[in-house]
Amino acid sequence: MKHTAHGRKFGRVRKERKALLRSLARALILHGKIETTEAKAKEVQRFVEKLVTKSNVGTLASYRLVLSRLGGEIRVAKQLKETVAPKYANRKGGYTRVTKIHAPSHDARKKAIIEFI
C-alpha cells in the first residue's frame, strides 16, 4: 500500500528527480512557459505553485527557502520575487495552467505546455 507516497518517480533516483524538477521550475520562472511531458508538467506545477505562495510572504526567511529549493540560483529567485509573485499577490492559488497538446512522437508520450496564468 502506498499510504504516504506522493509524487512521481520518473524512473530516476532521488537526486536526479530533484535536479529535474529544479531545472524545469527554473525554466518556467525565467521563460513563463515551457513544453514538456504531461506527467512532468503536473509535477512541476505542484513544485512551482508552492514556491510562488512562499514568495508572496515577502520575508527574508521565505526568500532563502525559495532560493534553496531552486538550488541557489539567485537570478531566478530574484525574478520570482520581483516580477512573478507580485502578479499573484491577491490570488489564493492556481498560478499555473497545464494544457495538453497533441504532438506526435515516436514513443507516444503525452505532451503538455505549462505556463503562468
Taking only the tens place, the pLDDT of each residue in 46-91 is 999 999 999 999 899 999 999 999 999 999 999 999 999 999 999 9
Taken in order of first residue, the domains within the chain and their CATH numbers are: 33-116 (3.90.1030.10)
Nearest to residue 55, comparing CAs of 30, 26, 85, 35? Answer: 85
Reference 48, options 59, 31, 60, 9; nearest CA is 31
Give residue 23's pLDDT: 96
More confident residue, 7 or 47: 47
> Could you tell me how far CA 16 lies from the centroid of its own chain?
15
Of the two residues 55 and 109, the one the predictor is more confident about is 55
What integer pLDDT is reported at residue 58 of this predicted model?
87
Asked if residue 19 has pLDDT above 90, the reply is yes
Q: Are 29 and 79 in contact (CB under 8 A)?
A: yes
**What global pTM score does this model have?**
0.89
